[in-house]
A and B are shown apart, each in its own frame.
Chain A
Amino acid sequence: MTISSLLSIDRKKITLMWFLVPISVYMVVFFLYPVLYNVFIGFFELKLGRTPVFNGLANYKEMLSDTQFLGSLVTTLIFVSASVSIEVTFGMLIAFLLNHENRLMEFIRTFILIPTVFTPLVAGLVWKSLYHPDLGIITYYMRKMGIDIGRGLIVERSLALGSIVVVDVWEWTPLMVIIILAGLKSLPTEPYEAARIDGAGELPIFFRITLPLLKPTLLVALLIRSLDALKVFDIIWAITGGGPGTSTTVANLRIYEVGMNHLRIGYAAALSNVLLIIGVVVGVFLIKFIYKNERL
C-alpha cells in the first residue's frame, strides 16, 4: 500500500468523523445532560422558585414509604405485563392466521396498521366516548347483553385498568402482528421439509420447530413493546386521567402530578429515576440480545 493511499484512507476517516460530531454533541446536550441532571436533582429538595437544598437520599427514603407512588408502580407493572402479554399472544395468533399470500390477506395486513398511526390522544378520546357510562356504545350493548359493569367501565375501580388495557391492545397488537409476520417470513424452510418427510403433524411442527425458531423475534418484540408500554401516558390521560381514585394512575402520571402540579421537582426527579433504572436495565438486555442475534 502506497503512502498516498494510506493518507487518503486517513483523510476519508477524518472527514467522516466530522459527520458524527453533530449527533454526538446533540445527544450529549439534549439527552445525556438532561438525564444526568435528573439523577443529580434527585438528591435535592427542589421546589419552584426556591433555592435547591441538598438533602442526600431523603427523597429516596421518602419514596419507600410513599404508598401513592409505590401503588402507581404496581399499577404500571400490572398494566405493562397484562397488555404486553395479550399483545404478543394475540399478535402471534393473528400472524399465523394472516401468514398466507393472497390479496385479501395483503389488504388486511395494511388495514390493521391503522391503530398504530392513530394519534394516541385521539384514540383515548374516542374510546372514552365509547366507554361513556350513559351514552357510550360499548356500555349500552354490554348492558343489553346483561353483562354487569356497575356504573360503567371507566367509573368502576375494578374495571377501569382493564378498559385501558383493551385500548392499548387495540393500538399495539398490529405492531406485534407485523413484527412476527416478518419473523415468520425469514424462517428457513429446510426443517419443515425434513419434518414433513418424517410425517410430523401440524401441532408438533409448530411447537418443535416454529416456536423455537421464532423465539428471538418474539423476545425482541416483547422487550420493545415493554419499553414502550412503560411510557404509557396519553391514552390514560385522555380516558380516565388516572382515576377513578388512583386505579389507573401509572407511575408516569404520578410523577407528572408530583412534578407539575405539586411542583416538587426534586422529588419527582427521584421518582422518575426509578423508571430510568427499569428502562435502562430492560434496554441494555435488549441491546445485548439484538446484537448477539444480529440486527432485527
Chain B
Amino acid sequence: MAIVGQNSTLHSALNFFRVLVILVILVFIAFPVIWIISTSFSQRIDMFKLPPKLFSAFIIDNFRYVFTKMEIDSWIINSLIISIGTMGLSLLIGVPAGYAFSRINFRGKKVLLIMILLTRALPTIVLVMPFRIIMQSIGLLGTRTAVILIDTVYNAAFTFWLMSGIFESIPSDLEDSARIDGCNPVQAFLYIAVPLSKPGLVTSALFAFIFSWNDFLFALTLTSPDTTTLPLGMLSTFGIMQQGWTYMAAMGVIAIFPVILLSLMLQKYYISGLTFGGVK
C-alpha cells in the first residue's frame, strides 16, 4: 500500500509539473498573437505609455485608417492573385504528374524525383537572383506572373511529391476496370483517381496558398510598386511611420487572418501536409 501511495504522489507531482509546463508553452505561443490583436484595436497614444498595457481601449479606427489612407486593398488583391495563381498552376502541373509517377515506371524516374525533392533543399536566395535576371530579359520583372512562376517551383514540387504518395495508396483496380469498360487513361484519371484523392488535393492547395500568401523575399525582389503584396506593403508603411504599431497591427491581423482561419478550418489537411503525409 505504501508503495502505491508514494507512486500516486509522484504521479500527481508529475501531472502538476506537466500542466505547468504546458501553460508556460501556451502563454509563450499565444502572447504575440494576443498582442497583435489587442494592439490592432488600441489607441495609438496608448502605445507610448509605460508600463505597456495589453488591453487599453477597443476602437476600430486603425482598420478604418488602413483601408482609407493606404493602398491596402490593392495589396490584398495582388496577394490574392499571386496566391490563387500559384495554387492553380501548382495543381495543374503537379497533380497529373504525381499520378503518372505513381502508376508507371520509366527511365529517368529517379532523376525526376531527385530534381523535385531538391527544390526543398535549394536556398531561396540562390533561385531568386538568377530568376530576377531571367524575368527581366523576358519582360516579366515587376509583374505578379513572375512571383507566381517562382512560387510554383516550390509548390508544384510539393504537390507532385504529396500527390504521388496519395495516388500510390489508392489501388489502380478501379481505373483498370474502367479502362476495360472503355475509359481512356485521361478519363480514368479525371473521373476515378482525382475524386478519390480529394484530401491530397485540399492539402496541396492549402499549402500553395499559405506559401504564396506568406512569401516576402520573392515579392521583395520581383514585384514593382503596382504589384506590391501585403507583407511588402506593410513593411514599407512600417518603415515610414515611427511607432505606427496600431496600424501595423491592423494590417498584420488582416494578413494573418485568412491563413490562420484556413489552417484551423482544414486542420486535418494542414497537419498531414506539415508531417509530409505521415499522418493520415
Interface residues of A (CB under 8 A from B): 8, 11-13, 15-17, 19-20, 22-24, 26-27, 30-35, 37-38, 41, 93-94, 97-98, 108, 110-123, 125-127, 129-130, 135-137, 140, 144, 170, 174-175, 178-179, 182-183, 185-186, 224, 227, 230-231, 233-234, 237-238, 251-252, 255-256, 259-260, 265, 268-269, 272-273, 275-276, 278-280, 282-284, 286-287, 295-296
Q: A11-B185, A234-B217 are in contact. Are A178 and B32 (CB under 8 A)?
A: no
Q: A27-B157, A127-B32, A233-B217 are in contact. Are A182 and B278 (CB under 8 A)?
A: yes
Bound together, the chains give a CA A9 to CA B99 distance in angstroms of 16
Is B74 part of the contact surface with A, judged by Cβ < 8 Å?
no
Q: Are A182 and B120 in contact (CB under 8 A)?
A: no
Q: Are B130 and A8 in contact (CB under 8 A)?
A: no
Q: Are A186 and B278 in contact (CB under 8 A)?
A: yes
Q: Are B275 and A283 in contact (CB under 8 A)?
A: no
Q: Are A137 and B126 in contact (CB under 8 A)?
A: no
Q: B134: which A residues are within 8 A, CB to CB?
A: 33-34, 37
Q: A93: which B residues are within 8 A, CB to CB?
A: 21
Q: B259: which A residues are within 8 A, CB to CB?
A: 117-119
The 4 closest A-B pairs by CB, nearest first: A283-B121, A19-B100, A19-B96, A16-B100
- Find the B residue at minimum CB distance from A271: B125
Q: Are A27 and B115 in contact (CB under 8 A)?
A: yes
Cβ proximity bits B112-145 to A, threshold 8 Å, 1 near / 0 not? 1011111111111111011101100000000000
Q: A282: which B residues are within 8 A, CB to CB?
A: 121
Task: Name A174's contact: one of B29, B184, B230, B276 (CB within 8 Å).
Answer: B29
| 10 further interface pairs, Cβ-Cβ under 8 Å (given A30-B131, A122-B255) | A20-B101, A31-B115, A31-B153, A122-B252, A126-B36, A260-B221, A265-B129, A275-B125, A278-B123, A295-B277
Task: Name A275's contact: one of B28, B114, B123, B221 (CB within 8 Å).
Answer: B123
Bound together, the chains give a CA A178 to CA B276 distance in angstroms of 11
Interface residues of B (CB under 8 A from A): 18, 21-22, 25-26, 28-33, 35-36, 39, 47-48, 50-52, 54, 92-94, 96-97, 99-101, 103-104, 106, 112, 114-127, 129-131, 133-134, 149-150, 152-153, 156-157, 160, 165, 179, 184-186, 189, 210, 213-214, 216-217, 221, 230-231, 234-235, 238, 243, 245, 248-249, 252, 255-256, 259-260, 262-264, 267, 270-271, 274-279
From A23, A111, A118, name the one whose CB has the most chain B CB atoms within 10 angstroms.
A23
Bound together, the chains give a CA A125 to CA B270 distance in angstroms of 25
Bound together, the chains give a CA A13 to CA B126 distance in angstroms of 36
22 contacts between A and B (CB under 8 A): A15-B184, A20-B97, A30-B153, A38-B130, A94-B25, A97-B22, A111-B29, A118-B33, A120-B216, A122-B255, A125-B238, A136-B52, A140-B51, A140-B52, A170-B32, A174-B29, A251-B125, A272-B123, A275-B123, A275-B126, A280-B122, A287-B118
Q: Are A170 and B28 in contact (CB under 8 A)?
A: yes
Q: B118: which A residues are within 8 A, CB to CB?
A: 280, 283-284, 287
Bound together, the chains give a CA A114 to CA B144 distance in angstroms of 27
- Find the B residue at minimum CB distance from A127: B32
Q: Are A113 and B156 in contact (CB under 8 A)?
A: no
From A31, A108, A123, name the one whose CB has the most chain B CB atoms within 10 angstroms.
A31
Chain A residues touching B, majority SS: helix
Q: Are B243 and A135 in contact (CB under 8 A)?
A: yes
Bound together, the chains give a CA A125 to CA B250 distance in angstroms of 12
Q: Are B35 and A130 in contact (CB under 8 A)?
A: yes
Q: How far is the CB of A241 from chain B (nearest CB, A)?
A: 10
Q: B47: which A residues are within 8 A, CB to CB?
A: 135
Q: B18: which A residues are within 8 A, CB to CB?
A: 97
Q: A33: which B residues are within 8 A, CB to CB?
A: 134
Q: B36: which A residues are within 8 A, CB to CB?
A: 122, 126
Q: B26: which A residues are within 8 A, CB to CB?
A: 108, 111-112
Q: A17-B104, A113-B271, A140-B52 are in contact. Are A31 and B231 (CB under 8 A)?
A: no
Q: A272-B126, A296-B275 are in contact. Are A23 and B97 (CB under 8 A)?
A: yes
Q: Are B29 and A115 in contact (CB under 8 A)?
A: yes
Bound together, the chains give a CA A278 to CA B117 distance in angstroms of 15
Bound together, the chains give a CA A121 to CA B119 distance in angstroms of 22
- Find the A residue at minimum CB distance from B53: A137
Q: Are B185 and A12 in contact (CB under 8 A)?
A: yes
Task: Name B50's contact: one of A32, A118, A140, A256 (CB within 8 Å).
Answer: A140
Q: Are A122 and B256 in contact (CB under 8 A)?
A: yes
Q: B267: which A residues are within 8 A, CB to CB?
A: 110, 113
Task: Name A117's contact: one of B127, B221, B263 (CB within 8 Å).
Answer: B263
- Find the B residue at minimum CB distance from A123: B32
Q: A111: which B residues are within 8 A, CB to CB?
A: 26, 29-30
